[in-house]
A = this chain, B = another copy of it.
Amino acid sequence: MKALIISADHFEDTELLFPFYRLQEEGWEVDIASIAKGKINGKHGYEVSVNRALRDINPNEYDALILPGGKAPATLRKERAAIEIAQDFFRRNKLVAAICHGPQILVTADVLTGRRATCYRSVAEELKESGALYEDSEVVVDGNLVTSRQPSDLPAFMREVVSQLGKASQ
């Protein structure tokens, strides 16, 4: 099984690193994609290796898409490749897990109409405007979509991500 994390500079460090380590713990392969290969740096200074450029991603290679928060999603929502990757995962009903500001990418991708979801509180208004049914909960699961609000939700977020991936692989 293989997951794709999409991020950029100023990511929220634990929201990228916790899923990155957690899925490896499960034995998954995890690629990190950004605007270019190389390195990206989190808000707290963690440096992460980017092994794939967004424009080179073939979504068919992956079973799950993870969208961490921080300021990275504000950058990524302007990247056509990032938006098209997110849309492809929704079209194929494959797991998309977004936390904090991560759902901003899904707002731009216009895939949230009628979907139950959550996000960081400052993102809630644009989530609702995009047609999502916003809930203020530590984790919301609606079909292929798993969303959470903030770093302290990471235990619930990854509990559901791992649970959903277990069901998908059966």
Contact = CB atoms under 8 A, between A and B. Distances in A.
B13 A159 contact: no
A70 B101 CA distance: 29
Interface centre among A14, A18, A25, by most chain B C-beta atoms within 10 angstroms, is A25
A113 interface: no
A45 interface: yes
Contacts of A154: 21, 25
Chain A: interface secondary structure?
helix
Interface string A19-56: 00110110000000000000000001110000000000
Contact of A17 (B14, B24, B162): B14
Interface of A: 13-14, 17-18, 21-22, 24-25, 44-46, 154-156, 158-159, 162
Copies of this polypeptide in the complex: 2
A155 B13 contact: no
Contacts of A13: 13-14, 44, 46
A18 B13 CA distance: 11
Nearest to A153: B21
Contact of A22 (B22, B24, B45, B46): B22
Contacts of A18: 17-18, 21-22
Contacts of A22: 18, 22, 25, 155, 158
22 contacts: A13-B13, A13-B46, A14-B21, A14-B46, A17-B18, A18-B22, A21-B154, A21-B155, A21-B158, A22-B22, A22-B25, A22-B155, A22-B158, A24-B155, A25-B154, A25-B156, A25-B158, A25-B159, A25-B162, A44-B44, A44-B46, A45-B45
